[in-house]
Amino acid sequence: MGTKKYAVIGHPIGHTMSPFIHNRLFALSGIDAEYTKLDITPENLNNEYNAVLSKLDGYNITIPHKQNIIPLIDKIDSKAKMYGSVNTVSNNCGISTGYTTDPDGFLKALAAAGIMLDGKIVILGCGGVARTMAYEIVLKKFPLLFAVRKEDIHIAENLCNEIKNTVSGADVKYCLITELQGDIDLLVNATPIGMFPKSENQPVTDSVIKKCANVFDAVYNPLETLLIQKAKANGANAAGGMSMLVWQAVVAHEHWDGSIYDTADITKLCVDAGNELKRNF
């Protein structure tokens, strides 16, 4: 059979956790594989697809290729089609299939942290990450509230309308972050606020954090944002973005080779990935 070949593509690719995470996952599953990173500019994507990518067993895609890869591959699954985005491709028997693993990565990260989708759910922000999370929540028939900055009100309004037009019966609203009040069962930060190097920032006030039973922060650098630290100090169940990063990689392996992993192994990998992150920043 020989060593299987995988990679992550993007531009600029810079420091990425993908090789560390995926090589560990291959080791856990006992599969002989190599995983590297490839810096591919947008203007070279077509050429590199034919020369390199089509010859790999599979690969992951990050910015700016998640949409531009779609016309080049043979087919995409239904979830990737709904999101209009592909971050994982499997090459099998000459057929390339695209998937998006971020949505399932989000749900698996919540489950691993013991966080239930229930009650009053608030997403901070209305960008691409927020959109992915929002669809998964409303598809499961839970009401959702976006809390955004004043300058993003029109974006939030358009996103709410899109979701309502796409998902029948979706209960989705928006408000200003400054208008948040009352108890919150799950607060999800889908903004970059609190990310390194501006780790001293937090997306909501202390008074809001104190009313949250569960908190999930998509930011993974630092491993524990100020939001996560304060939520835990208040007794809330809280988890950071590293778990989502690792679990979406797990979903990629499910598509590539059907691997099944022990939750304890993935929990340890999240910790190890966090330590690797610290060593590189």
E-only strand ranges, 50-185: 58-61, 75-76, 88-92, 95-99, 121-124, 144-148, 172-176
**Annotation marks residue 5 as catalytic:** no
Query: What is the CB-side half-sphere exposure of residue 158 using CA atoms within 13 A?
Result: 7
CA dist 166 → 1, 16, 119, 159 (Å): 44, 33, 22, 10
**CB distance 110 to 140 below 8 Å:** no
User: What's the burial of 114, exposed, middle or buried (CB within 10 Å: 0-12/13-18/19+)?
Assistant: exposed
Would the CA dihedral through 144, 147, 150, 152 be positive or negative?
A: negative
Q: Catalytic residue, from 4, 55, 66, 278: name it.
A: 66
Is the peptide bond preceding residue 64 cis, with omega within 30 degrees of 0? yes
Contacts of 178 (CB under 8 A, 6+ apart): none
The catalytic residues are 66
